[in-house]
Amino acid sequence: MVMKAPILESRHVTHRFGGQAALKNISFSIEKGEVVGVIGRSGAGKSTLLRFLCALETPEEGQILLDGIDLTKQPENRLIEIRRHIGLVFQHFNLLTSRTVASNIALPLQIAGRPRREQQERVNELLELVGLAGFGEKYPSQLSGGQKQRVGIARALAANPTLLLCDEATSALDPESTTSILNLLTDINRKLGLTIIIITHEMDVVRRFARRILALDHGKLIEDGTLIDFLSDGGQKKTLQPLLADIRPKLPNDVAQQMCETDSPGAAIIMRVVHSGEGVMPPFFGALAQRFTLDAALLQGGVTTISGQPVGDMIVSLRGERRDEAVEFVKELVKSMEVLGYVPHHP
């Protein structure tokens, strides 16, 4: 097997502010072409990590390697050069209002001293790529939030970066523009094979966009995996639950009111089931009901497709004499299963 060299590595990164650790022993490695979401609540350490990843600051301990180069060991003049190869996309776009769209996009090329002709050609290419052909002579004030962010993305891509770092890139946008920007980033990843890291506090954004999720909590890396890993571990790891709360199906109120912790004869078992879709689509529960003569109901949730992969997160209820047999059967097929409680039988 050929081992690919990582494009970005964080090795045992620790950093403190006034004795308080903001990042604790953070290690991960990202390969070229990956799409990674870094998620965490306010104060988790996302911005601190971002500043290290883009070589704006150096951690107290540990190393950051970009394409094999240790950013923590480079002199400032080398870092200036390295930063040119890191595309940054900001929450509030950071466009220069007195410059046209074309001139905003050309800025990194101008700073790098590229010839005017080359700048123009590259700007036209980028306008096309981000779906803004014909917008070059407009000013930022004439654009919608989503369009401004397209300009921000085009500018970040101008110098052919090794890596695109998006800092809360959709947090200032309405849901429709958020979707279009996430689609654009997915498209860019596919077309250019560019490595993209999106840093956000919104689980819905990483759920829809990132094939791999890194979760930070109080400066610690508490999860590094796919959405399915995240959902499966959410049952056991308490620290993941607040992050997942936004996207998980919730127990319907009437069921929550009737549910108790102890099983009793004839009770329905209420379970959260996470699975990768194959063979466990909602009709499966109909077949299960028939096979084990059960009352089986999908109470909440379903299957969504993430990066072409079906991901199921459902709350189901099973009641019947052969209920426990059915539970064992389901357990073999799914990624994880968590018993939430029991609803007693009222004849």
Q: Return the closest-CA partner of residue 236 out of 337, 326, 343, 342.
A: 337
Q: Taking the complex as a whole, how short is the minimal distance between the CB of residue 239 and ligand ATP, in angstroms?
A: 14
The answer to whether the beta carbons of residues 196 and 37 sit under 8 Å apart is no
Q: Rule CB under 6 A: say whether 59 interacts with ligand ATP.
A: no
The answer to whether the beta carbons of residues 223 and 61 sit under 8 Å apart is no
Q: How far apart are CA 1 and CA 213, in angstroms?
A: 25
Q: Taking the complex as a whole, how short is the minimal distance between the CB of residue 202 and ligand ATP, in angstroms?
A: 10
DSSP 312: E
DSSP 2: P
Gap between the terminal Cα atoms of the chain: 61
Q: Rule CB under 6 A: say whether 242 interacts with ligand ATP.
A: no
CA triple 184-171-246, angle to 5 deg? 100
Calculate the alpha carbon distances from 137 to 41, 89, 150, 177, 237 in Å.
39, 21, 15, 22, 51
Question: Contact with ligand ATP (CB under 6 A): which of 42, 77, 257, 305?
Answer: 42
Q: Rule CB under 6 A: say whether 214 interacts with ligand ATP.
A: no
Q: Rule CB under 6 A: say whether 47 interacts with ligand ATP.
A: yes
Q: Taking the complex as a whole, how short is the minimal distance between the CB of residue 50 and ligand ATP, in angstroms?
A: 7
Name residue 265's amino acid: P
Q: Considering the complex, state which of residue 13 and residue 129 has its C-beta at the smaller distance from ligand ATP.
A: 13
Q: Considering the complex, state which of residue 44 and residue 53 has its C-beta at the smaller distance from ligand ATP.
A: 44
Q: Considering the complex, state which of residue 49 and residue 280 has its C-beta at the smaller distance from ligand ATP.
A: 49
Q: Return the closest-CA partner of residue 41 out of 247, 244, 313.
A: 244
What would the x/- binding string for ligand ATP be over residues 190 to 209, using CB under 6 A?
Answer: -----------x--------
Question: Contact with ligand ATP (CB under 6 A): which of 48, 170, 177, 178?
Answer: 48
Calculate the alpha carbon distances from 145 to 109, 166, 203 in Å.
24, 15, 21
Q: Taking the complex as a whole, how short is the minimal distance between the CB of residue 215 and ligand ATP, in angstroms?
A: 11
Q: Taking the complex as a whole, how short is the minimal distance between the CB of residue 57 and ligand ATP, in angstroms?
A: 9
Q: How far apart are CA 6 and CA 289, in angstroms?
A: 47
Q: Which stretch binds ligand ATP (CB under 6 A): 35-43, 126-134, 233-241, 325-333?
A: 35-43
Question: Contact with ligand ATP (CB under 6 A): which of 7, 44, 105, 165?
Answer: 44
Going 209 to 212 to 62 to 82, the CA torsion angle's sign is negative
Q: How far apart are CA 57 and CA 52, in angstroms?
A: 5
Q: Taking the complex as a whole, how short is the minimal distance between the CB of residue 8 and ligand ATP, in angstroms?
A: 18
Name residue 231's amino acid: L
Question: Contact with ligand ATP (CB under 6 A): which of 22, 88, 164, 227?
Answer: 22
Q: Rule CB under 6 A: say whether 17 interacts with ligand ATP.
A: yes
Q: Considering the complex, state which of residue 48 and residue 317 has its C-beta at the smaller distance from ligand ATP.
A: 48
Q: Considering the complex, state which of residue 16 and residue 211 has its C-beta at the smaller distance from ligand ATP.
A: 16
Residues contacting ligand ATP: total by CB under 6 A = 11
Q: Which residue, chain included where needed, has tokens 């840093």? A: 199
Name residue 90's amino acid: F
Footprint on this chain of ligand ATP (rule: CB under 6 A): 17, 22, 40, 42-48, 201
